[in-house]
Amino acid sequence: MKDTTHDFPDGRIFVGGTWEHGQGAPITSTFSHDGSANITFNGASREDGERAIARAKAAQADPAWRNMLPHERAKLLHRIADGIEANIDRISRLQSRDTGKTLTETAALAASAVGTFRYFAAVLETSDETLTSRRGTSLTASVHEPIGVVGAITPWNSPIASDAQKLAPALAAGNAVVLKPSSWSPLVSLELARICEEAGLPKGLLSVLPGSGREVGNLIVEHADIGRIAFTGGTDTGRRLGEQAGRKLMPISLELGGKSPTIVFEDADQDLAVAGILFGIFSSSGQSCIAGSRLFVQRSIYDAFVEKLVAATKKLRVGDPFAKGTQVAPLINTEHRDAVEGYIKGAVEEGGEILCGGKRPEGDQYANGAYIEPTIIAGLPNTAKTCREEIFGPVLVVLPFDDEADVIAQGNDNDYGLACGIWTRDFPRAWCVAGAIKAGTVWINTYKQFSISTPFGGDGASGMGREKGREGLRVWQRQKGIYCDLTGQPHPWAGVPA
């Protein structure tokens, strides 16, 4: 492997606490700046998955884990957070090699994973069981228990952050977790397994199984011993998994795609709006579920604002994710780059006008990389395919609107409902639009800001269920009502025994 920043045993996967050679198809992680291979190894097979689940079941049933007191389990989560924190530099380099994201972005993702483990340690220690109001002669209580063995299936765009968002609350809740990261970005999830192991997570409670979605992912969803799934990924996959979970009557949360509207009213601070919009769509090269990929600008300022935005976009620094100052790095790989290019071609065929970008950057340093210039497209109606479908690349469509009612109608006229950005100095108006727009998260005069204490999720084709926040622990537990008789008397229905 060219990059030596990982600590897990080379070429192995983590099967129920043991580093083993996978029995599945080979996986190659590439560095998308120049197309070089980081590492090739065998991913997990169905049999590896079966073994992982069996070990997880045994480990979770062990009273030492199942009955571990919350403050003791919280200590373990803090040790995992410490392990990530001590290695942020190394982890971010690894993730930049694996995904092509800039070092600034991957360092932020690693730092957010630290925060996630610490937050759920705190939630665990402060989430009380409740005595409920008595309605009779019993003491009544609501308590929470682990589900058992649970599955986490994650995509390639922000692996350590999406892994942590599932692992931290699931382990806090007392479960064992079988994690399947994407084959396109397997390395950081394996490194996280190594850190959990070093932190003293009991053997068997975690498996990390990079491998085929149809083989290993499908096994995790269908397996009778898996009691809950948290999935982050594309909408088509999410729908399929939702159907499978429904047949099993198994809870599932689905964090899916988006085509999020950003709205600029005529009274907005335009410099702030331009900076926020650039960050919202072009950071991570647009490979972000919450990317603000549909921009609505009020007609009275449309021409001048779009001109300003295009000028700022042309100044973005596109390049090597490891180079200081890079803002727009390559996409995950050339396969995905080709798919994004297909969308740009489709936009032109639909009658769209490319205002900037739309092609690969020129120059030797880009020759072997999965690059696309930041692209802005105008002149399409909201009904065009380019405006309806998630592109998952550095591509922004701009559309004009007349007034609040018009932009709410256009913004909501889309299957997705993940996020929205609103730029205005009129706070009551912003509040009103925020309430009317179909989105799990709304940002006012900012974009793509995250807090682990604020719930996150989507509506419509963007999924169902929420992660993060205090309630993020409860979704990984079963709730149970307990009644305890206080009278010591036989039930009157039965009469007094002779």
Number of chain residues interacting with ligand NAD (CB under 6 A): 29
Question: Shortest distance, CB of residue 156 to ligand NAD, whole angstroms?
Answer: 5
Question: Shortest distance, CB of residue 338 to ligand NAD, whole angstroms?
Answer: 14
Q: Which range, of 131-139, 210-218, 261-269, 379-387, touches ligand NAD by CB under 6 A?
A: 210-218
Q: Which range, of 8-16, 111-119, 227-235, 394-402, touches ligand NAD by CB under 6 A?
A: 227-235
Out of 392, 401, 443, 476, point to the residue binding ligand NAD (CB under 6 A).
Answer: 392
Q: Which range, of 58-66, 228-236, 307-315, 489-497, touches ligand NAD by CB under 6 A?
A: 228-236
Question: Shortest distance, CB of residue 298 to ligand NAD, whole angstroms?
Answer: 28
Distance CA 32, CA 97 (A): 8
Element (H, E) at 130: strand 130-132
Would you count residue 394 as binding ligand NAD (CB under 6 A)?
Answer: no
47 assigned to active site? no
Would you count residue 237 as binding ligand NAD (CB under 6 A)?
Answer: yes
Would you count residue 221 as binding ligand NAD (CB under 6 A)?
Answer: yes
DSSP alpha helix (H) spans, 422-491: 427-436, 471-474
Cα dihedral angle (87, 88, 89, 95), rounded to 10 degrees? 110
Query: How large is the C-alpha radius of gyration of the chain?
Result: 24
Would you count residue 180 as binding ligand NAD (CB under 6 A)?
Answer: yes
Distance CA 439, CA 165 (A): 20
Would you count residue 169 as binding ligand NAD (CB under 6 A)?
Answer: no
Nearer to ligand NAD, 16 or 463 (CB): 463
Distance CA 294, CA 63 (A): 51
Distance CA 416, CA 412 (A): 8
Would you count residue 260 as binding ligand NAD (CB under 6 A)?
Answer: no
Distance CA 424, CA 267 (A): 6
Question: Shortest distance, CB of residue 315 to ligand NAD, whole angstroms?
Answer: 27
Question: Shortest distance, CB of residue 394 to ligand NAD, whole angstroms?
Answer: 14
Question: Shortest distance, CB of residue 222 to ligand NAD, whole angstroms?
Answer: 9
Distance CA 116, CA 424 (A): 32
Bridge-partner residues for 456, per DSSP?
A: 467
Helices 70-86, 159-172: inter-axial angle, 10-degree rounding: 160
Distance CA 316, CA 318 (A): 6
Q: Which of 105, 191, 197, 289 is catalytic?
A: 289
Would you count residue 119 as binding ligand NAD (CB under 6 A)?
Answer: no
Question: Shortest distance, CB of residue 255 to ligand NAD, whole angstroms?
Answer: 3
Q: Which range, of 232-240, 356-364, 375-383, 476-484, touches ligand NAD by CB under 6 A?
A: 232-240
What distance lies between CA 125 and its chain's CA centroid? 25
Would you count residue 390 as binding ligand NAD (CB under 6 A)?
Answer: yes
In the block, residue with structure tokens 């169902």: 464
Would you count residue 217 as binding ligand NAD (CB under 6 A)?
Answer: yes
Out of 156, 282, 371, 423, point to the residue binding ligand NAD (CB under 6 A).
Answer: 156
289 assigned to active site? yes
Residues 6+ apart with CB under 8 A from 288: 157, 158, 448
Residues 429-458 that bind ligand NAD (CB under 6 A): 458
Nearer to ligand NAD, 11 or 234 (CB): 234
Distance CA 412, CA 296 (A): 12
Distance CA 159, CA 153 (A): 10
Question: Shortest distance, CB of residue 314 to ligand NAD, whole angstroms?
Answer: 26
DSSP alpha helix (H) spans, 374-484: 385-388, 404-412, 427-436, 471-474
Distance CA 178, CA 150 (A): 6
Distance CA 103, CA 99 (A): 10
Would you count residue 256 as binding ligand NAD (CB under 6 A)?
Answer: yes
Q: What is the DSSP letter of 443?
A: E
Regarding beta strands 419-423 and 261-264, do their DSSP bridges make them parallel or antiparallel, or are they unpaired?
Answer: parallel
Nearer to ligand NAD, 87 or 462 (CB): 462
Neighbours of 142 (CB within 10 A): 12
Q: Which range, of 87-95, 134-142, 253-261, 342-350, touches ligand NAD by CB under 6 A?
A: 253-261
Q: Which of 191, 255, 373, 390 is catalytic?
A: 255
Residue numbers of the site for ligand NAD (CB under 6 A)?
153-157, 180-182, 213-214, 217-218, 221, 232-234, 237, 240-241, 255-258, 289, 390, 392, 418, 458, 463
- Kindly list the catalytic residues: 255, 289
